[in-house]
Chain A
Amino acid sequence: MPFKYAEQIKELQLTNCPPAFWRPVNRDAFRYVFEDIEHPHNFIPPLAIRPKRINSPGFHTDYAKCCGFALSFFNTLQNAQTHYAKLQKNIPNIGKSIGTHIATGAIGKADGVASEENQQTGHFDLHEYEHSDLKPKFSILIKIS
């Protein structure tokens, strides 16, 4: 099944993107979003929001570029809250960049392929398939900022 950002990935000549060991999953997931669930950035990966960031040092490896076309999630509400608190303590304005609320929803195998979870943070990423539409599946759970 084609990926949502396959054209950009092809143009950038990113090989093994998404990595072959990422797998379709059925699972609940938690994501940082802005208060209005219709906010245009809520379910768009960073390099799709600002494509020119591809040239910045933060995305200078192929792996980072590939991750830039994936959506970030956490495996539990607690892990999402804990990580946000850590970020906010260091970067008080973080909400202006990644959102101020946590939304939850169910990701299905037809939505894309997911990375393994980070064992320490519970963070994982999803490369969406072309026809995936996560917004209707997610609802705002709590305010965190």
Chain B
Amino acid sequence: MNTQTQLHKIRFDSSFFERLTKVADLIYFDGPLLSLFRDSDDKKYLYYWCDVEQTYNRWIIVPVRQLIIEKYFNKDITLHEIIVVAIKNEWAYLVDLDDNLQYQNISQIDLNEITHSYLPDDDSFYDFQPIFYEEPKIPIWGSLANISDISTHQFLERVYSKALQENCVDDIWLFERQLQRGAIRSAAALDWHIILQNIRALDSVAKVLWDAYEELIFPKKVQNPDAGIYLLIGNPQEEFNSFFIGKDFTDRTIFVREFKRGFLRFLSLAQRSCPS
């Protein structure tokens, strides 16, 4: 099956390697073994490590479409297939990278001549944890807790106005969850989420959330001491951390400090150990 039609041969002009930016390491052990790069036109390339000698590492470089990468992540296609198809279409190159990180001996790969040990197995479906190098977009999920007379929409409007005051409105995207007719509403449902666009806005976002709570929710605690805001953050590894304003936190300074600390620690969870 030819899954990479409409791709073009790589033109190894002098600026080709300089134009590449690392997107992710897809396989890594004591160094990258399969990496995804993109060029300034957002064309993607896989670097596949296949051999080492005294003074150089040998890589196979193939152009690859985003769709193919997604299929590879979803285990719909193997690494073997990606590389073999690229070789058959004369898009794959062997490149030696020496100890001075100079590219040497660039040659097009011939399927009939390639060393068998340079190719992944037939069942080389993706089964690793990718390491992405571009800043992730971080969701903060939330819900009003034990509040009946303030709507989520009202609360988010207040968050928005506070974000304007804090000058961080461009750094956060607010999303309100729309329930469909007939949907079952659970007490634990999360009603909205914020996508933090810039980690530097974390301090401002914590303050904005607190100030919106203090203005809208806190006055209700006289009648309902359990009222508050439940926050949940999650990462691609499906690890979660929660914060309950009005219950776990009753002081703005402490909340802002702990939210930032918890958030940053949470982000670093992926770095508890080195990549493998």
The interface of chain A, by Cβ under 8 A from chain B, is 19, 21, 45-46, 50, 52-53, 55-61, 63-64, 67-68, 70, 72, 83, 86-87, 89-94, 96-98, 115-118, 120-121, 123-125
Contact = CB atoms under 8 A, between A and B. Distances in A.
B32 A91 contact: no
Given A90-B27, A91-B50, A98-B29, A123 B124 contact: no
B129 A93 contact: no
A92 B273 contact: no
B122 to A, nearest CB: 9
B271 A60 contact: no
Contacts of A19: 271
Interface of B: 22, 25, 27-35, 37, 48-52, 79, 97, 99-101, 116-121, 123-124, 127-129, 133, 271-276
Contact of A90 (B100, B101, B121): B121
Contacts of A68: 30-31
Given A86-B127, A89-B123, A92-B119, A53 B31 contact: yes
Contacts, number: 102
A130 B97 CA distance: 32
B49 A97 contact: yes
A91 B99 contact: no
Nearest to B79: A90
A92 to B, nearest CB: 4
A125 B27 contact: no
B27 A91 contact: yes
Contacts of A93: 50-52, 117-118
B30 A96 contact: no
A123 B276 contact: yes
Contact of B276 (A55, A89, A121): A121
Contact of A98 (B30, B50, B101, B127): B30
A116 B272 contact: yes
Nearest to A64: B275
B43 to A, nearest CB: 17
B273 A125 contact: yes
Given A93-B51, A97-B52, A87 B273 contact: no
Contacts of A118: 272-273, 276
A63 B272 CA distance: 11
A59 B31 contact: yes
Nearest to B51: A93
B274 A72 contact: yes
Contacts of A123: 273-274, 276
Contact of B25 (A52, A58, A96): A58
A72 B30 contact: yes
Contacts of B118: 92-93
Q: Which 8 A-B pairs have the closest CB atoms?
A: A67-B274, A123-B276, A58-B32, A115-B273, A116-B272, A57-B22, A92-B117, A125-B274
Nearest to A66: B274
Given A58-B25, A98-B29, A98-B30, A124 B50 contact: no
Contacts of B276: 72, 83, 118, 121, 123
Given A58-B32, A86-B127, A96-B52, A50 B275 contact: no
B27 A52 contact: no
Contacts of B50: 91, 93
Contact of B22 (A60, A87, A96, A120): A60
Nearest to A96: B52
Nearest to A61: B133
Contacts of B51: 93, 96
